[in-house]
Amino acid sequence: MSQIDDPAACQVEFEQAHVSTLYELLTERLSEAQTRLADVLKTPAESASETHEREVTAQRLAKEIGRLEGAENGLVFGRIDRADGTTLRIGRLGMQTDEEDLPLLVDWRANAARPFYEATPVHPMSLRRRRHLRLEERTVVAVSDELLDGSAPTAGDVVGDGPLMEALSARRTGRMQAAVATLQAEQDEIVRSTHRGVSVVQGGPGTGKTVVALHRAAYVLYAFPRAAEHGVLVVGPNARFLEYISQVLPSLGENDVVLATCQELAGVFPDTAEPLDVARLKGSSAMADALADMVRCHQAPSGSFTVRIGHETVRLHDEVVATARDAAVATGLGHNPARQVFKELLVDAITDALERSTGDILEQIDAEVAILTGTDLDRATAADLRHLGFDDAPATGPADEFDADAVRVGLLDDAHIDRTVETLWPRLVPSELVRALLTNSDTLAEHLPGLTKDERSRLLRSSEDSWTDADVPLLDEAASLLDGPPQRTYGYVVVDEAQELTAMQWRMIVRRCPGKAMTLVGDFAQAGPVTTARDWKEALSPHVGPRFNLHTLTVSYRTTQEILETTRELLARIAPDQTPTRSLRRGETPRTVPTQPDAIVATVARELQTQTAAHPGELLGVICAESRLDQLTAAGIGEHARIVPASEARGLEFDGVVVVSPEEIVTARPGGEKDLYVALTRATKRLCTIAVQGQGC
């Protein structure tokens, strides 16, 4: 068939002309920005302000270059034809020229692009047609149209398989891809929400929670400039997951979003895990109360004290010290910076006391001189001054002979005062505070009275023990109590796998988002064993209050209907209240391959061989209990598939998944059925379970 007879090919060619123009413009703008950056970097700066200006310009240009480079892949992916005959092309960024009234390309986040995502035949939003373009590098390889106004297709319409289906059945690469071309209406509504407070997005595995979270981050950067100015943070459960999602935002032209785990936020990287019961205890907010209580005990708990100043001994009473303490605490500063306020207030009080006692002594001297000589020294001094020409010299009192400012400055430098302040309000180090709590049974009993003796004994550790993952939020809490809130805070925070966070981790995150503008996505049916909250209200109320927008995603875009069906019973057990999601896709029925305990590795290897031969190039994952990891790795399984412990599989996905011994996964740790649920829902196409004979499940 010639191209003339093939309307689809005609349309591809037609779109190619526009796409090529847009890519030329992109190249031009990119090279302009690169040239300008090179020029700026070459320009010598002659003063500090010029250096600063140069740095700011260079940063802005580097950011622009990143944005333009990020748009290279799939620059244009859509087009809408409005009923009034106008057309808009939708892409990763906006492009406009002075010659044209309408933009050449509309940023997917702009309001004008909204109908591309939200129009349906029932609500066409004044559109006649929505067109998706598929590009390979800079070449248009396919177009696909949906007619929205009920009109019959004409020669210029290419109505075929939906681009969503194409995207969903594409091979996985081990890195998540942006879904900007095919965001679905229920997802788009959350991404574009104007709500600035806390939004929670829940939904079963594969319903696009991560997709929504990341596109929301990109949208916030575009639509909420003030939040963007303060930075956007995306928090994920572990480095493996962050690696998996790391390309999405750069591919949306956003390179400034910070991706971090809780460890990265705290800047502490222990590699030891904690027994779960201890991790749960350490995750509870009682630990924050205990640390705060300990700090309070180091803030002038009992006041009255004496301090030697030169030859004098000054006594400060309880109330004076308590007033200084309360005022220092009321500043809201961390313990260490508030110490300076406390010290200054004490020095003020000491200066007052010295002034009073100096006054008393001088008055006593004056009185004695008057008795002995009959002379009033103050009047005599004033008279002398007047005699010397100082006509308005007052009759001075004794306090005027005391230079309070000089005394105050001297006291602030005084070693005795420093020692006294150190006793009353010692400088504290975060790690030492946490260590002091966890290494002494009396301290634990004093500050964690709500725990049982047994629970406290489980928390007790030796001072040589290294830090664990569960200690990270404690160290962060201590740092904020002692040194004040974190220096780096954000205007908007997105948390993925948010059901995993403990109360102590929530505190870490909320501390970094003073405006409490957040999108939190997760699924309690996939919660790991450290999670104690059962729902969002329980998890979030202590940190952000009871009010948040809750959205539920209902369609699974990852797993096939067949795979979802095999998890129904399990889901009913682990989350009886959850409405099962439905899938858009159908596929192979999941298989179970029996094996003997001593043949597990061989069976996994055989299964991988079979799958690789049948579906070359597909991404395979082997999900197992942590205890199997070494054996499978040593046997070279990692050469054919990614081996992931079930405890770290949250959020990941593969074309085909081999789940090794469900029984082992279930029994590996408390709540293991949820780990199994996670493992069974990672495949986009094929699921195979290796069942070890003689084990249940």
Binding site residue list for ATP: 203-210
Question: Cα–Cα distance between 100 and 109 in angstroms, integer?
Answer: 21
Measured from the CB of residue 680, what is the shortest distance to ligand ATP in angstroms? Answer: 11
Least distance from C-beta 521 to ligand ATP, angstroms? 7
Residues 541, 546, 549, 552, CA torsion sign: positive
**Considering only CA atoms, which of 268, 296, 284 is closest in space to residue 459?**
284
Rounded to the nearest whole angstrom, what is the least distance from the CB of residue 223 to ligand ATP in the complex?
19
Q: Specify the residue, 70 or 237, whose C-beta has the smaller distance to ligand ATP.
A: 237
- For residue 372, the tally of other CB atoms under 10 A from its CB is 8
Min dist. Cβ of residue 116 to ligand ATP (A) = 12
Residue matched to tokens 């939020």: 473
State which residue, 476 or 523, has the beta carbon closest to ligand ATP: 523
Distance (Å, rounded) from C-alpha 678 to C-alpha 659? 10
Nearer to ligand ATP by Cβ, of 33 and 525: the residue is: 525
Q: How far is the CB of 138 from ligand ATP (least distance, A)?
A: 22
Comparison of 177 and 532: residue with beta carbon closer to ligand ATP = 177
Tokens (6 digits) for 6: 């093939």
Residue of 619, 398, 67 lying closest to 59 (CA atoms): 67
Please say which residue, 157 or 653, places its beta carbon nearer to ligand ATP: 653
391 vs 92: CA distance, rounded Å: 82
Q: How far is the CB of 476 from ligand ATP (least distance, A)?
A: 25
Distance separating alpha carbons of residues 433 and 24, to the nearest angstrom: 60
For 439, the token pair is 């290494």
Radius of gyration of the chain (CA): 34
Tell me if 648 sits within 8 A of 469, measured CB to CB: no
In the complex, least distance from residue 644 CB atom to ligand ATP, rounded to whole angstroms: 13
Q: In the bound complex, what is the minimum distance in angstroms from residue 558's beta carbon to ligand ATP? A: 4
Binding residue positions = 203-210
| CA 15 to each of CA 29, 114, 374: distance values in angstroms, whole numbers, following the listed order | 21, 21, 111
Q: CB of 162: closest distance to ligand ATP in angstroms? A: 10
Find the helix or strand (DSSP H, E) in which 189 lies. helix 185-191
Whole-angstrom Cα distance, residue 312 to residue 570? 78
Quote the CA–CA distance of 338 and 332 in Å, as a whole number. 8
Q: How far apart are CA 190 and CA 615, in angstroms?
A: 36
Q: How far is the CB of 204 from ligand ATP (least distance, A)?
A: 7
Smallest gap from Cβ 513 to ligand ATP, in A, equals 21
At closest approach, how far in Å is the CB of 175 from ligand ATP?
10
Name, in order, each residue with C-beta under 8 angstroms of 31's C-beta and a sequence gap of 6 or more: none
User: What is the contact surface with ligand ATP in residues (CB under 6 A)?
Assistant: 164, 167-168, 176-177, 179, 182-184, 187, 203, 205-211, 523, 526, 557-558, 651, 653
Count of alpha carbons within 13 Å of 144, Cβ hemisphere only?
A: 16
Nearer CB in complex with ligand ATP: 434/520: 520
Which residue, 203 or 645, has its beta carbon nearer to ligand ATP? 203
588-591 contacts at long range (C-beta below 8 A, 24 or more positions apart): 588/560, 588/562, 588/685, 588/686, 589/562, 590/562, 590/563, 590/566, 590/680, 590/686, 590/687, 590/688, 590/689, 591/687, 591/688, 591/689
Q: Show Cβ contacts of residue 559 under 8 Å, excluding neighbours closer than 6 positions.
A: 205, 206, 583, 585, 681, 683, 684
Is the backbone of residue 23 left (phi > 0), alpha (psi -120 to 50) or beta? alpha
CA dihedral 19→160→216→188, nearest 10 degrees, is 120
CB 132 within 8 A of CB 182: yes
Under 8 Å between Cβ of 469 and 463: no
259 vs 421 by CB, closer to ligand ATP:
259
- In whole angstroms, how far apart are CA 487 and each of 263, 335, 511? 16, 15, 10
Q: Please tell me the distance from the alpha carbon of residue 414 to that of residue 425, in angstroms, as a whole number.
A: 16
Q: In the complex, what is the shortest distance from the CB of residue 211 to ligand ATP, in angstroms, rounded to a whole number? A: 4
Q: Kindly state the smallest distance separating residue 687's Cβ from ligand ATP, in Å.
A: 14
d(CA 542, CA 647): 27
Pairing between β-strand 620-624 and β-strand 654-660 as defined by DSSP bridges: parallel
Which H/E stretch holds residue 147? strand 139-147
Token pair listed for 294: 């300990």
